[in-house]
Structure 1
Amino acid sequence: MPLFKNIVVYRIGPEWTPPPLEQLEADLQRLAFQPCEPTQERSAGWVPPRGAEHGAMVESVAGQWILKLAVERKAVPAGAVRTELEARCKAIEAERGRKPGRKEKTELKAEIVHTFLPRAFSKRSSHILWLDLERRALVIAAGSVKAAEPVVKPLVDLMAELRHVMPLVPLSTALAPATAMADWLASKQAPAGFTIDRDLELKNPGEEKSVVRYSRHNLELDEIGQHIQEGKLPAQLALTWNDKVSFVLTDQLAIRKIDIRGVEDAPKGEDGFDADAAIATAELSGLLPDLLAALGGELLPQA
């Protein structure tokens, strides 16, 4: 499985200095992932990116640092909680002659969830984090900033604990991605180094919130320009960079459905991790500056 199918990129502030690799490794080991306790709703911790048991928690491949965060969540079915809450509220009303207030209902709900948690099914996910020290970028394997934030937080907290405070901001560009994508589609002209592929989602940001989707479709259509004139804006557009990397760009500057050509054919080592990491980080390091340039250049945060 590829290291990166979706990514969100953060810029690291110029004042950050990385801790020694050995120190980071030791603290990641200290904060290793542990499964949820019986009444615990969520647990997060670090695991070896290579996947080997008792392996290193941070891998350095061609100067790029790769980490992996595991998250386990327990979900109690909302319907079961609601049914039990209604039953308890009716019992209280019958016993005391009054309905429970809002605060009492909230406390009852928390108690019910706590009671049900030991029997709840758990779901585990993992997320790759890539620290590009030279370009001062943190790349998160996530499909949106909202999904990336809980992955970023444990690393930021650890860096603060190590006194290597890591200021982060999501990448920002002079042109909003939706505006740039609309221009490319209306003019039927992709930016230099890119080609427009065959998938598109247009959304109307107004009250109707109408959506038009094209899948595996020729996008050089006059009707697409008409949709844009009517106020619909691209929310997702499929592109290919230099015939090397295919992806979908979103209006929030997330990069999804990444397909790096030639990864499967590249010679692999014992587990393939080093080759996959080296190819992925090299190709994405080439793609990102060209994409930022196509979006009018990066807007750096003020000091």
Structure 2
Amino acid sequence: MWFKNLKLYALTQALEITEEDLEEKLAEFVFRPCGSQDMATMGFTSPFNQGKTLLHSANGRIWITLKKQERLLPSVVVNAELAEKVAQIEAETGSSVGKKAQQDMKQEIIHRLLPMAFTKNSFIHGFISTKDNLVVVDASADGKAEAFLAMLRKAMGSLPVVPLARQSVQAHLTEWLQGKDLPKDVVILEEAELKALEEDGAVLRCKNQDLGSEEIINHIQSGKVVQKLAVEWDETLSALIQEDLTIKRLKFSDVMHEQNADIPKDQVAARLDANFALMSGEIVRFAERLKEIFTLNADD
């Protein structure tokens, strides 16, 4: 299990909770499958899928998984049946069906079809590093990250976190493309997104592009700033850094993946444990480095 995106949050105060207590609190919100009339359900499940515990810990970093199940009932199916039923009634009675009656009919159709609808499962993974006062969610969008934090907050009673970066880092990213203050352990790759500062300003997306070229520098000098930038860090990982410090398309190097290659594939739990310990350790190290690079402080 290797995270692909990162939403990074700082704990504003230390968590005074044991793993045993946290397990009990998560158990109160354990995942349950959709009932016949549930559109969706959400709850905590084992990070190991078949495991019995609702969390997994390695070196003080606690891995938690939120599972969501949704019933797939396409609106086009409901609306088609509704239209057919309305047309039939209007043909038989010679009068139109009002909006309130149509809404009631629609609810009846949903109620009847919902138990027969297929279900779709999705997972949101995250971990808490208590000793580093850090919470990490494997999500590319705010909505998924907030859903994870909200459920965790509901289970724990409180979760005092703020985004690791509460101000845009676009000025730093833009300076890097101008050759200013680029950290020695950061290598700029060939992908970026630049945007003009006006509200409806032009957006320039670059792929497989020499970002040090005169063309790109001219765009920056004309007023565009960097919204996203692909980088490699410390020969360990590559990622797309966004101006709000969301990390997308996270990829770990082959050297990282090879470190646990000697664990037999049939030892699933052992591989998951080793990979999580390795991955989460590097993510914490990366997050600490980002705090240094962008001078981030939870008290700011």
Q: Normalized against structure 2, the TM-score is what?
A: 0.85
Task: For 1:276 and 1:85, locate their aligned partners in 2 and report how far apart those are by CA, in whole Å.
Answer: 51
The corresponding residue for 2:256 is 263
The corresponding residue for 1:124 is 121
The corresponding residue for 1:134 is 131
> 1:129 Cα deviation (Å)?
1.5
User: Per-residue CA shift, 1:192-246, capped at 9, x if unaligned?
Assistant: 4211111212344656564332223321112222223444433321111111121
Q: Quickly say closer, same or farther: Cα 1:78–1:204, change in 2 above 3 A.
A: farther
Q: Quickly say closer, same or farther: Cα 1:295–1:85, change in 2 above 3 A.
A: farther
Q: Which runs of 5+ in 2 are unaligned?
A: none
User: Per-residue CA shift, 1:272-301, capped at 9, x if unaligned?
Assistant: 122211211211111112212322423536
Q: Quickly say closer, same or farther: Cα 1:207–1:111, change in 2 above 3 A.
A: farther
Q: Normalized against structure 1, the TM-score is what?
A: 0.84
1:247 has 2:246 as partner = no
Contact kept, 8 Å, 1:85 with 1:112, in 2: the verdict is: yes
User: 3-state SS of the aligned residue for 1:263?
Assistant: helix
> 1:9 Cα deviation (Å)?
1.2
User: 3-state SS of the aligned residue for 1:183?
Assistant: helix
Task: For 2:19 and 2:25, locate their aligned partners in 1 and report how far apart those are by CA, in whole Å.
Answer: 10
Q: Post-superposition, which runs of at least 4 consecutive aligned residues in structure 1 deviate over 6 A? A: none
Q: 1:217 aligns with which of 209, 224, 229?
A: 209
1:289 has 2:284 as partner = no
Q: Quickly say closer, same or farther: Cα 1:96–1:291, change in 2 above 3 A.
A: farther
Task: For 1:283 and 1:245, locate their aligned partners in 2 and report how far apart those are by CA, in whole Å.
Answer: 9
The corresponding residue for 1:183 is 175
Q: Which runs of 5+ in 1 are unaligned?
A: none
1:33 has 2:31 as partner = yes
Q: Quickly say closer, same or farther: Cα 1:27–1:159, change in 2 above 3 A.
A: closer
Q: Quickly say closer, same or farther: Cα 1:223–1:37, change in 2 above 3 A.
A: same
Aligned length, in residue pairs:
292
Aligned-residue CA RMSD in angstroms?
Answer: 2.7
Task: For 1:107 and 1:253, locate their aligned partners in 2 and report how far apart those are by CA, in whole Å.
Answer: 46
The corresponding residue for 1:149 is 146
The corresponding residue for 1:18 is 16
One-letter code aligned to 1:266: Q
Contact kept, 8 Å, 2:66 with 2:124, in 1: the verdict is: yes
> 1:188 Cα deviation (Å)?
6.4
Contact kept, 8 Å, 1:92 with 1:100, in 2: the verdict is: no
Task: For 2:171 and 2:205, locate their aligned partners in 1 and report how far apart those are by CA, in whole Å.
Answer: 18
The corresponding residue for 1:79 is 76
One-letter code aligned to 1:121: F
Contact kept, 8 Å, 1:48 with 1:58, in 2: the verdict is: yes
Q: Quickly say closer, same or farther: Cα 1:264–1:209, change in 2 above 3 A.
A: same
